[in-house]
Amino acid sequence: MHTVLELLNLTTNFFEQKGIDSARLNAELLLAEILNCKRLDLYLSFDKPIKEEEVDNYRAFVKRRGNREPLQYILGHVEFYGLTFFVNKDVLIPRQETEILIETVLNSTDKEAELNILDIGTGSGIIAVALAKHLPNAKIVAVDKSPEALAVAKQNAETHNVSQRITYLQNDVLIASLPIDEKLDIIVSNPPYVSQLEFQSLQKEIVAHEPDFAVTDFSDGFTFYRKIIESSKKYLNENGKIFFELGAGQSAQVKSLFELHNFSSIEIRKDYSNIDRVIKGEWK
Ligand code: GLN
């Protein structure tokens, strides 16, 4: 029989050997998931023996994490903007920085307005769902080229009771035009903005496990900004706005793209590491 403390110590050592950051925290979060308790509750039960079956399940999780599979795919859920989202290998794992994108959209809109919003590359659906939750009269179209991602996004919308106000479209915005009848007030996107070159230097968790097409454009990192800004005017209302998440070092070039296409009132917001993370442009 293994106790909680023994399992945590063994697993922490194993993760350290594998070069996994925050080895102890990973060991604790995985065990808490298996035992269906909070991480800190483990500290109250260090001497507790763990059932054989639970040990087997924990071993399976530990093995996956040892292969550098991201923790969030193993747990199957992530917190984002105060909500819990289901995730799997078909979607990009929500990042904390993307909360700044949500905040920026919410700060620049009237909460009660009947807005038409388009979320391009919805992935797990975090942007569409978080906005629908905070903008009770908004209607949202969420687009992704991956049907598997759309299945995850739909599931998250149902969990959070906003599926009636979100329409899902399978569409590759780089190829097809969008079948949208009503003009849009807001386009929001966290596109794959990592360049092909930079992609190869990212950590193994990302390169080997997250969907590559959700991370990189396999080019210079600007493909989606260019394409969305260029083609947006036929979809946007007058005074319509575009909000993008940005990769580090991309703000000046995306600002120029906005200016080139006659967008104004451009605003940039930094993240907690002082990196320009979100940009907004208005079509006037
Ligand atoms: N919209 C999702 C997110 O922000 C997915 C983005 C993507 O796959 N590039 O997490």
Q: What pLDDT score was predicted for residue 177?
A: 83
Q: pLDDT tens across 46-59, in order?
A: 998 999 999 999 99
In this prediction, residues 5-14 reach a mean pLDDT of: 97
The structural domains of the chain, ordered by start, are 4-67 (1.10.8), 80-283 (3.40.50.150)
Residue 175 reports pLDDT greater than 90: no
Q: 260 CA to middle of ligand 1, Å? A: 26
Q: How far apart are CA 129 and CA 163, in angstroms?
A: 8
Among 124, 194, 202, 212, the mutation site with the greatest number of ligand 1 atoms within 8 A of its Cβ is 124
Contact 246, 222 (CB under 8 A): no
Among 122, 212, 213, the mutation site with the greatest number of ligand 1 atoms within 8 A of its Cβ is 122
Q: What pLDDT score was predicted for residue 116?
A: 97
pLDDT category of residue 101 using cuts at 50, 70 and 90: very high
Among the atoms of ligand 1, which is closest to the Cα of residue 80? Answer: 10
pTM of the model: 0.95
Q: 48 CA to middle of ligand 1, Å? A: 40
- Closest-CA residue, ligand 1 atom 5, reads 123
How many degrees, rounded to 5, is the angle at CA 232 between CA 227 and CA 234? 130
Q: pLDDT tens across 181-229, in order?
A: 889 999 999 999 999 999 999 999 999 999 999 999 999 999 999 999 9
Q: pLDDT tens across 15-26, in order?
A: 999 999 999 999
Sorted by sequence, the CB contacts under 8 Å of residue 84 that are 6+ apart come out as 77, 78, 159
Q: What pLDDT score was predicted for residue 7?
A: 96
